[in-house]
């Protein structure tokens, strides 16, 4: 590791593991014993430390809270079949993190801090990686503006942190999805492609309204005509129409390009399945449904891997699916799990040992 980013490590005296069993923990609720922290000041990252998980205190003028310069990532580490621990494609998350940072006028985080810091932290808390099937250690890197100043301008100081949550299995029930035609998530030229905190705050009202109507999530559509499909909640969306698999392309910058999405496309192409990345309209989806060609609808994301969709509600019409008959989605879910848990050879070089 680059010496400048070598963390100063302070270990806690006791471990919370004495009181927590790592089986069947709900997502995002329990945190490991340690966290990584670094500060950006005078144009450089410094003060890299790993210390016990604890509150961080700030004055009320903290710029991130007022103007939203805050970004994050979601990554998973797995206990491998050979007993080791590996992280799934973290360099892809680093690329996306720095793309988010650039769009939000925040500094880039170097490989030696993001990747090596994460490896070091996971090694410190290695006993927190659950070894049950479909379990993992969720890694949450994030960065936020720390100037204590109410002027609206990019902050000059930032904090980068990594925290860890043991989680899983994240078996989601097949989902009921409401196709959103009033609220919008992202526009061309906006921040849809970035994992920027504000995107999630801005999505909560629409999602809450859909939940009141009995749905699990919304499927976002384009902001101009509500015609083209974008993505679902925190997942990219795939449609199997006939023998082809279709997913919206990333050209407009309105969709968060998932690492899972990218992996799904790679696997499907290796299997000889034709994948089209292009605009998909709700009209096309409805027609494919009516003609019996729309066989599967599923979402992809780090948290749930592949999640099956059992209903799409569009303009008052309900399209329903039988997830038990989803061959492609099931094959993908199985293949992804086998790769992540090291039960098959890692041909792609997707797993980074810690
Ligand atoms: C994180 C996220 C995804 C999924 O990305 P992965 O890298 O596969 O986890 C999809 N959409 C949105 C809006 C997201 O925030």
Phi, psi of 335 (to 5 degrees): -65, -40
Same structural domain for residues 271 and 295? yes
Instruction: Find out whether the beta carbon of 307 lies less than 6 Å from any atom of ligand 1.
Output: no
Ligand 1 close to Cβ of residue 301 (< 6 A): yes
CATH of the domain at 67: 3.30.470.10
Considering 123, 146, 170, which residue would you say is the last residue of a domain?
A: 170
Does the residue 354 lie in any domain?
Answer: no
| Share of residues in the chain with pLDDT > 90 (%) | 94
Taking Cα atoms as reference points, which of 331, 332, 172 lies closest to residue 264? 332
45 in a structural domain:
yes
Output the CA 261–ligand 1 centroid distance in Å: 8
Under DSSP, the state recorded for 14 is: S
Are 165 and 188 within one domain?
no
Over residues 236-243, mean pLDDT: 98
Whether residue 7 lies inside any domain: the answer is yes
pLDDT band at 331 (very low <50, low <70, confident <90, very high): very high
* Predicted local confidence at residue 4, as pLDDT: 80
Q: Is 219 found in the same domain as 166?
A: no
Residues 105 and 48 in one domain: yes
Q: For ligand 1, say whether the CB of 256 is within 6 Å of any of its atoms.
A: yes
248 lines ligand 1 (CB under 6 A): no
Considering the domain architecture, whether residues 24 and 156 belong to the same structural domain is answered as yes
pLDDT digits (tens, 9 = 90+) for 118-136: 999 999 999 999 999 889 9
Please, what is the angle between helix 327-340 and helix 259-270, to 10°? 110
Same domain, 109 and 29: yes
Segment 311-329 shows an average pLDDT of: 97
Region 246-265: mean pLDDT is 98
302 Cα: distance to centroid of ligand 1 (angstroms): 7
User: What is the pLDDT, as a whole number, of residue 2?
Assistant: 59
State yes or no: pLDDT of 1 exceeds 60: no
Is the same domain home to 35 and 183? no
Residue 61 predicted with pLDDT over 60: yes
Q: Does the beta carbon of 176 lie inside 6 Å of ligand 1? A: no
163 and 179 assigned to the same domain: no
Examine residue 330 and state whether it is found in any structural domain, yes or no. yes
Q: Report pLDDT for 170.
A: 74
Instruction: Tell whether 103 and 190 lie within a shared domain.
Output: no
CATH value at residue 325 = 3.20.10.10
d(CA 31, ligand 1 centre) in Å: 21
Residues with Cβ within 8 Å of 62's Cβ and at least 6 positions away in sequence, in order, are 144, 145, 146, 147, 148
Rounded to whole angstroms, the Cα distance separating 6 from 49 reads 8
Choosing from 170, 190, 220, the residue where a domain stops is: 170
Query: Which CA distances in Å does 221 have to 54, 99, 191?
Result: 40, 23, 15
Residue 232: is it exposed, middle or buried by C-beta count within 10 angstroms (0-12/13-18/19+)? Answer: buried
Tell whether 11 is covered by a domain. Answer: yes
Which conformational region is residue 17 in: left (phi greater than 0), alpha (psi within -120 to 50 degrees), or beta? alpha
Helices (H), the chain: 63-67, 90-103, 111-124, 197-212, 259-270, 282-290, 327-340
Tokens (6 digits) for 321? 């699916």
Per-residue pLDDT tens over the stretch 143-175: 999 999 999 999 999 999 999 999 988 767 999
139 touches ligand 1 (CB under 6 Å) = no
Atom of ligand 1 nearest to the CA of 259: 7
Domain residues for the domain of 266 are: 175-340
Atom of ligand 1 nearest to the CA of 263: 8
User: Is pLDDT at 267 greater than 60 in this prediction?
Assistant: yes
Per-residue pLDDT, 292: 97
Measured CA to CA in angstroms, residue 64 lies from 42, 68, 95 at distances of 18, 5, 22
In the reported structure, the alpha carbon of residue 193 is separated from the centroid of ligand 1 by a whole-number distance in angstroms of: 9
Has residue 352 been placed in a domain?
no
258 CB within 6 A, ligand 1: yes
How many structural domains compose the chain?
2
Whether residue 254 has its Cβ less than 6 Å from ligand 1: no
Domain membership flag for residue 64: yes
Atom of ligand 1 lying closest to residue 74 CA: 9
Tokens of 328: 């492609």
The verdict on residue 313 lying in a domain is: yes
Same domain, 155 and 251: no
Does 160 share its domain with 14?
A: yes
Domain endpoint, select from 170, 199, 232: 170
The pLDDT confidence band at residue 305, using thresholds 50, 70 and 90, is very high
Per-residue pLDDT at 218 = 98
Question: Do 137 and 273 belong together in one domain?
Answer: no
């Amino acid at each position: 590791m680059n010496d400048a980013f070598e963390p100063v490590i302070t270990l806690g005296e006791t471990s919370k593991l004495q009181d927590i069993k790592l089986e069947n923990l709900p997502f995002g609720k329990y945190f490991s014993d340690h966290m990584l922290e670094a500060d950006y000041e005078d144009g450089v990252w410094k003060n890299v430390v790993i210390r016990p998980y604890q509150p961080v205190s700030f004055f009320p003028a903290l710029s991130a809270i007022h103007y939203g310069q805050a970004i994050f990532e979601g990554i998973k580490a797995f206990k491998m079949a050979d007993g080791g621990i590996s992280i799934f494609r973290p360099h892809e998350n680093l690329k996306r993190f720095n793309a988010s940072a650039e769009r939000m006028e925040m500094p880039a985080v170097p490989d030696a801090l993001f990747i090596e810091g994460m490896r070091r932290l996971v090694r410190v808390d290695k006993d927190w990686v659950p070894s049950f099937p479909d379990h993992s250690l969720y890694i949450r890197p994030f960065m936020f503006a720390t100037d204590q100043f109410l002027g609206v301008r990019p902050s000059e100081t930032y904090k980068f942190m990594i925290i860890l949550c043991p989680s899983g299995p994240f078996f989601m029930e097949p989902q009921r999805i409401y196709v959103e035609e009033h609220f919008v998530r992202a526009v061309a030229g906006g921040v849809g492609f970035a994992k920027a905190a504000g995107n999630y705050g801005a999505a909560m009202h629409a999602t809450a309204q859909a939940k009141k109507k009995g749905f699990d999530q919304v499927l976002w559509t384009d902001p101009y005509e509500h015609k083209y499909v974008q993505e679902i909640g925190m997942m990219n969306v795939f449609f199997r129409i006939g023998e082809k698999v279709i997913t919206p392309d990333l050209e407009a910058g309105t969709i968060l390009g998932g690492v899972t999405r990218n992996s799904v496309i790679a696997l499907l192409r290796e299997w000889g399945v034709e994948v089209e990345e292009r605009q998909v309209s709700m009209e096309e989806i409805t027609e494919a449904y009516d003609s019996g060609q729309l066989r599967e609808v599923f979402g992809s994301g780090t948290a749930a891997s592949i999640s099956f969709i059992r209903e799409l509600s569009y303009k008052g019409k309900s399209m329903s699916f039988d997830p038990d008959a989803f061959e492609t989605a099931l094959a993908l879910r199985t293949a992804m799990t086998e790769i992540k848990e090291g039960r098959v050879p890692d041909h792609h070089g997707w797993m980074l040992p810690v």
